[in-house]
Amino acid sequence: MEREVYDFGSRLKSLREDANLTQQAVAGKLGVTVGTIKKYENNTLLPPIDKLETMAILYRTSLDHIRNLDNRRCIYIDDLPVAQQDFIMEMVEKLKFELKKYGNR
């Protein structure tokens, strides 16, 4: 089984572009220079965890996805009205409960 090489900087760049953000915009949100963002995306500087957390929020994904620790994507519901968020969370909890019933089969 061939493993694909993970390129952290490329992931950051791709996520930034998918979020339609410029390096300048991200630098402003992180309180760093554009040069720092370029270094992150070129794998010459590793962002500290607080900057990664902010990037995860900006890019609407998880730290695990940024770090290539899972294949899941997060679905954010924070833009929805609170009643819709509550309904979705209630449905997720019900699904988790139902799925536990089938976990040992």
pTM value?
A: 0.64
Which pLDDT score, from 0 to 100, does residue 68 have? 80
Tokens for 68?
């290539």
Could you give the domains of the chain?
1-74 (1.10.260.40), 76-105 (no CATH)
Give whole-number Cα distances, 56 to 16, 17, 29, 63, in Å. 10, 13, 12, 6
Token look-up 């209630």 returns 90
Point out the residues of the chain with pLDDT beneath 50: 1-3
* Alpha-carbon span 57 to 5, nearest angstrom: 25
Q: Please, which residues have CB within 8 angstroms of residue 87's CB and are 6 or more apart in sequence? A: none
Which pLDDT score, from 0 to 100, does residue 6 have? 67
